[in-house]
Amino acid sequence: MKTTRSVVLGCGSYLPAKILTNYDLAKMVDTSDDWIVERTGIKVRHLAREDETTSDLALEAATQAIRNAGIGVNDIDMIVVATTTPDETFPSTATRVQAGLNMLGGAAFDIQAVCSGFIFAVSVADAMIRSGQAKTVLVIGAETMSRLLDWNDRGTCVLFGDGAGAIVLQAHEGDGSNHDRGVLMTKIFSDGRLHDLLYVDGGVSTTGTAGHLRMQGREVFKHAVTNIAAAIEAAAGAAGVALSEIDWFVPHQANQRILAGTARKLGINPERVISTVAEHGNTSAASVPLALSTAVEDGRIKRGHLILMEAMGGGFTWGASLLRW
Ligand code: ACO
């Protein structure tokens, strides 16, 4: 049966120039390169300049994705930005990007699902495309997580980085089978009872400040492997795809041990898992499209490949999206 599919036309990414190494961090808090690498796999992360905002990062990634897609800005009729670090409380970061692109018309809005944001944004964009409300959607994950960190808390400040990634999705007709290009299935979940394990201790209607990220790392870790594995099985299962058929797993890049633990739990070949955590750290909603762009640029991901993107983050939120490149 003919079906509308959201096909990826192109992708792009952007990392701020400034790099913070584990050795730099060891001068700031009581930590070491050995500890960070052993517990997380992270070696370096990128940090936005003081005058560089989330929308600046998003705009760079978006411009590259549009160029890579081979379309014009005004072919886009919707922008969805996943971010937990917006430029301002309002308006949305997406409207800043819209203005930056000189995009006339269409709609632009943000969604908030912390580290799962990109998966949630793909889910929303795909639903918009399949329901006929949009034809060409720019989906961006962009973060300046460095602005939310308590730089005295060694348990969190070593984990995160800044960056942005973007894809362009466009409506194309498929035959309704798993051989179609485009998004085949997305599953998203949340459980608000787990708020206290990972949150920011500030906000507009509480403290009136942006606040700092707080986390019970060990507890988050346990939930991460369980939830991510369940989301992968839910998305692949609903699409009728065996995990062995998937060419590349593109996970949220939180911690190399979470990537390895999930692969082990599901019997996934670790060589099929794209990892950029060593170079990017955890860039929250930006991490999946950043990893995706990396693997497209270096030639690992090719047209026709089956890709499984997944993430988990504060809320808790988690999800997975299966697509054919
Ligand atoms: N350097 C040195 N020592 C540290 C550091 C640090 N940067 N941070 C914590 N420690 C110490 C702790 O104080 C503790 O010391 P103690 O034994 O004297 O009390 C010891 O190291 C062990 O601490 P744990 O928190 O138990 O260490 P763990 O092995 O769990 O690793 C980590 C911590 C890396 C945070 C891990 O729990 C983790 O990655 N959790 C997942 C969190 C995550 O990825 N969150 C991102 C958002 S959610 C998501 O994206 C999935």
pLDDT single digits (tens) 271-291: 999 999 999 999 999 999 999
| pLDDT confidence of residue 98 | 98
Is 172 a residue of the active site?
no
CB 83 less than 6 A from any atom of ligand 1:
no
**Distance between Cα 299 and ligand 1 center (Å):** 34
pLDDT tens, position by position, 234-257: 999 999 999 999 999 999 999 999
Does residue 115 have an active-site annotation? Answer: yes
Considering only CA atoms, which of 160, 100, 249, 177 is closest in space to residue 81?
Answer: 100
Q: What is the pLDDT of residues 41-94, one digit of tens each?
A: 999 999 999 999 999 999 999 999 999 999 999 999 999 999 999 999 999 999
Angle between helices 217-239 and 256-266 (to 10 degrees): 40
Cα(215) to centroid(ligand 1), Å: 9
CATH match for 3-174 among 3.40.47.10, 3.40.190.10, 3.40.50.300, 3.40.50.2300 = 3.40.47.10
Give 179's pLDDT tier (boundaries 50, 70, 90).
very high
Indicate if the pLDDT at residue 36 is higher than 90. Answer: yes
Q: CA-CA distance, 273 to 248, in Å (whole number)? A: 6
C-alpha 121/C-alpha 79 separation (Å) is 10
Average pLDDT of 10-17?
A: 98
pLDDT band at residue 307, thresholds of 50, 70 and 90? very high
Burial of 131 (0-12, 13-18, 19+ CB in 10 A): exposed
Residue type, 278: A
Asked if the model's pLDDT at residue 197 lies above 90, the reply is yes
Residue nearest to atom 14 of ligand 1 (CA): 155
Which pLDDT score, from 0 to 100, does residue 170 have? Answer: 98
> How far, in whole angstroms, is CA 55 from its chain's centroid?
15
Average pLDDT over residues 95-123: 98
- Residue ranges of the chain assigned to CATH 3.40.47.10: 3-174, 182-324
pLDDT value of residue 268: 97
pTM equals 0.97
Task: Please check the confidence at residue 1 and state whether its pLDDT lies above 90.
Answer: no
The CATH H-level superfamily of 182-324 is Thiolase/Chalcone synthase (3.40.47.10)
Average pLDDT over residues 113-132: 98
Would the CB of 234 count as within 6 Å of ligand 1?
no
pLDDT digits (tens, 9 = 90+) for 127-145: 999 999 999 999 999 999 9
> Residue 90 has what pLDDT?
98
Whether 252 is a known active-site residue: answer yes
What's the mean pLDDT when you consider all of the chain? 98
117-130 helix and 287-297 helix, angle to the nearest 10 degrees: 80
Determine the residue of 198, 227, 255, 280 to mutate for testing ligand 1's pocket, defined as the one with the most ligand atoms within 8 A of the Cβ atom. Answer: 255
Residue spans of beta strands (DSSP E) within the chain: 3-14, 18-21, 44-47, 78-82, 107-111, 136-144, 162-174, 182-190, 198-200, 213-215, 248-251, 306-313, 317-324
* Residue 321 reports pLDDT greater than 90: yes
CB atoms within 10 A of CB 33: 15
Please tell me which residue in 46, 252, 255, 280 is annotated as part of the active site.
252
The answer to whether 31 and 39 have CB atoms below 8 angstroms apart is no
pLDDT at res. 152? 97
d(CA 318, CA 315): 9
Sequence-distant (6+) residues with CB within 8 A of 264 are: none
Q: Which of 68, 115, 157, 212 is catalytic?
A: 115
